[in-house]
């Protein structure tokens, strides 16, 4: 049986989505730290996946890119008996995939605009892009607040791929655009996410890296102490 290897970085929100799913599905995967600033590692990685995005799952001679595809592949081929993140029922599975895409497109993407902006020299930063990203996050929060009324998890009654996507997206997004008192359902959901064993494990494995996160000023002291910088 071939070894499963996940090429990843512990600060990457999309890598979190994959590692949360891996834990939730009960799969043994070797996590290979990826440093794209290292020319040797970068060349080797681009040989595996020329797009260069992370994470990437390698299963023997088979490479699987893109987090949602990685999760579906792992569930189909490697999950522990009975472990599911995507339901078998077609309509329920569509609902999970919808909210998975919602978080990737409308929470993760504008969050990353904020991070990318902080990585630029001050004279190259784009306040208009930040305003657009903030507006999209605020609209997304409002949609999620309405959707979560009376719900425990994002899609259906069980923790799913949609929640794997939600956890890193929201964890990082609120460091730039915090939730307000009007987001009571969303705030409660975020706490449930942070307490889920698979999410908590990924956060714990990333703590030593938070000092390098560009938006660390917005992190709760629960996760990061500024005195550590």
pLDDT tens-digit map of 56-110: 999 998 999 999 999 999 999 999 999 999 999 999 999 999 999 999 999 999 9
User: What pLDDT does 31 receive?
Assistant: 97
b/e map of 17-39 (b: 16 or more CB within 10 Å)? bbbbbbbbbebebebeebeeeee
Work out the number of other CB atoms within 10 angstroms of the CB of residue 124. 8
91 contact partners, CB below 8 Å, separation of at least 6: none
203 has pLDDT over 70: yes
The predicted model scores a pTM of 0.96
At residue 2, the pLDDT reads 74
Residue 206: band (very low, low, confident or very high) from pLDDT cuts 50, 70, 90: very high
For residue 197, is pLDDT > 90? yes
Residue 1 above 70 pLDDT? no
Q: Which pLDDT tens digit goes with each residue over 123-151?
A: 999 999 999 999 999 999 999 999 999 99
Alpha-carbon span 70 to 208, nearest angstrom: 26
Is the confidence at residue 161, as pLDDT, over 80? yes
> Tens of pLDDT along 47-57?
999 999 999 99
């Amino acid at each position: 049986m071939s070894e499963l290897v996940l090429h990843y970085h512990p600060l990457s929100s999309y890598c979190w989505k994959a590692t949360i799913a891996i834990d939730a599905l009960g799969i043994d995967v070797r996590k290979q730290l990826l440093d794209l600033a290292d020319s040797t590692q970068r060349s080797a990685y681009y040989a595996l996946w020329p797009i260069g995005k992370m994470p990437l799952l390698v299963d023997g001679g088979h490479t699987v890119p893109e987090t949602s595809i990685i999760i579906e592949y792992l569930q189909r081929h490697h999950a522990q008996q009975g472990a599911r993140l995507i339901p078998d029922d077609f309509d329920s599975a569509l609902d999970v995939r919808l909210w998975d895409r919602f978080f990737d497109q409308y929470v993760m993407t504008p969050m990353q605009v904020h991070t990318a902006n902080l990585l630029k020299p001050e004279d190259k930063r784009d306040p208009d892009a930040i305003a657009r990203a903030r507006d999209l996050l605020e609209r997304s929060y409002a949609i999620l607040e309405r959707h979560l009324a009376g719900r425990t998890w994002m899609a259906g009654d069980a923790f799913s791929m949609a929640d794997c996507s939600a956890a890193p997206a929201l964890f990082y997004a609120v460091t730039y655009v915090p939730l307000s008192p009007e987001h009571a359902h969303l705030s409660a959901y975020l706490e449930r996410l942070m307490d889920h064993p698979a999410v908590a494990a990924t956060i714990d494995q990333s703590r030593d890296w938070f000092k390098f996160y560009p938006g660390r000023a917005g992190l709760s002291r629960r996760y990061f102490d500024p005195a550590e910088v």
